[in-house]
Structures are given as structure tokens and as C-alpha cells.
Structure 1
Amino acid sequence: MVLVVGIVLLIVLPGVPLAGAVVLLIGILMLVPPFVAYRTTELGVTNKRVIVKMGLIRRRTLELLLRQVEAISVDQSLSGRLLGFGSITLTGTGGVREDFHRVRDPLELRRRIQGQVA
């Protein structure tokens, strides 16, 4: 949305290009953290567990045994469906929930987990 406002300001107010350029730059900078998170997330499914590693500077790792997975939920917005990303929630025994956002091809990940559990 910020990108659109920046572009509109550049077009509508050509006499004040700095305002549009600043808003456009802010919009671009807002895209950096989600892009880095998307590019630095690693997901793996073995015959015994699901392994998720996220982060570039601060690393978060989760290992969940497949026998402890009770439910897998996938959420994709329209833009997520078009661009191939979404959120996945793994619910383990005891109600433990792990949410992962901006996951590449979450439906394929769910299919792979279900294939190993079955």
C-alpha cells in the first residue's frame, strides 16, 4: 500500500518528487524483513520429524516428531496463492502450536508431512 501511495505521489505531485520518493523508499524498506524471512526459512520432513529453521541473524529452530503432530493448518491469502507462500500451523500433542509465516509452497509441505505420518 505504501508503495502505491509513493507512486501516486510521484505522478500526481511532479513538482514535489522528494515526497513521493521518500514514501516509495519507505515502502521498499518495509518489504525487506518479510523477504529476508522468506528467503532464510528452511523446512525439512524426514521419516521421523519435521525440522524448521528460520532467520538470518537470529536463528530459530524447531524439531517436532511426526508422531506428535496432531493437526496441520494452512492459511494463504490471495497474494500468497498467487506468489506461492502462506502460513502453516503445526499442532502437537498437548495442544502445542507452532506458527510459521511466509512459508514457500505450504500445501506441498502439508502433503509431505501427511505422507510421512500415514
Structure 2
Amino acid sequence: MGNYIESNLARDEKILERAHVSWMSQIWYIIFGILLLPIAGIGLILILIAIINVWTTELAITNRRIIAKTGLIRRNTIELKVNRVESLGVDQGILGRIFNFGSIVVKGTGGSNAPIPYIAKPLDFRKSVNHYLDELDDKAVIDS
């Protein structure tokens, strides 16, 4: 999959950093899917849920926006201009800390709060986004 972001880029917009869903975040679907495989296809459904979660979730920061998309049949998208981002948070449970995955929570001006779940290496993504936002702030101070 992975073409929603590319197909929705504006003119002169470039992807700076991407984040992907961690397969380890789907471990329970996979384990129970394998265990329940012999039972009327229930296991296959669980394995398909894991695959769909990984293949259909996209997250990226461009030079203009933070863009996220989840879902296959029911699509949920988030597009927030970088100058509207107040902060990026990371939610990680115990397994997320162990296996390095978690939810990125994008907080924008006006109270918008958008969680994007199951992201691999969420602290690295947040660090990259914060670095880019700091560069924009520094450039704004120099230009003014």
C-alpha cells in the first residue's frame, strides 16, 4: 500500500520523515491468529487484521504538513500544517517500551488531538519532527 501520502502531496511538497507500524505491535493478533487457525478461520481473520493494520497505516512529515492515514475500508486521515503543531506526544505501554512502538499524539492549535497508533520507533519520529519544527522557528526568528 503506502501511496496515500505520495498521491496527496502538494506542488513542491517533499516527505522529510516517515513512520511505519511495528509488526511487534500486532503480536497478539498474530499469536492468537496462529493458535486459532484451526477454528473456523477465526485465526485467519486475526492475522488479516494485523496485516491490514501494518499495511494501511501511513505517517509522514513533509516540509508543509504532518499527514497520517489509517484504515482500509473506513479511512481516517489527519493533515495538519506544521505551523499549527503545538506538540507531539508519545504513548507507550510496557510492551511498547520493550519492543519500541507506541502511539504518536499530534496536538495542534485549537485543541485538536490526533493519536496515530502502533508506530515503530515513535521517539525517533518525534525527535525528527521536533528538530524540523525547531529549524522553522529559528528561521522565523532570523527572518523577522
CA shift for structure 1 position 51: 0.9
- Residue among 109, 112, 118 paired with 2:125: 109
Match in the other structure for 1:76: 92
Q: Which of structure 1's runs of 4+ aligned residues deviate more than 4 A? A: 1-4, 25-28
Match in the other structure for 1:50: 66
In structure 2, the CA distance between the partners of 1:35 and 1:75, relative to structure 1 (3 Å rule), is farther
Q: Report the secondary structure of 1:94's partner residue.
A: coil
In structure 2, the CA distance between the partners of 1:35 and 1:79, relative to structure 1 (3 Å rule), is farther
Q: Report the secondary structure of 2:97's partner residue.
A: helix
Coordinate RMSD, CA, aligned: 2.9
Write the mapping of 1:23-42 to structure 2, written as runs, cut at 5 A.
26=42, 29-30=45-46, 32-42=48-58
Match in the other structure for 1:64: 80
Task: Say which one has the larger Rg.
Answer: 1
Larger helix fraction of residues: 1
Structure 1: where are the runs of 5+ without partners? 8-18
Q: Paired residues, what number? A: 105
CA shift for structure 1 position 114: 0.5
Q: Judge conservation of contact 1:73–1:90 (CA < 8 Å) in 2.
A: yes
Alignment partners' CA distance in 1, 2:56 and 2:80: 19
Structure 2: where are the runs of 5+ without partners? 1-27, 135-144
Percent of aligned positions that are identical: 36
Alignment partners' CA distance in 2, 1:51 and 1:70: 15
Alignment partners' CA distance in 2, 1:85 and 1:39: 16
Quick one: which amino acid aligns to residue 89 of structure 2?
Answer: S
Alignment partners' CA distance in 1, 2:131 and 2:42: 43
CA shift for structure 1 position 74: 0.2
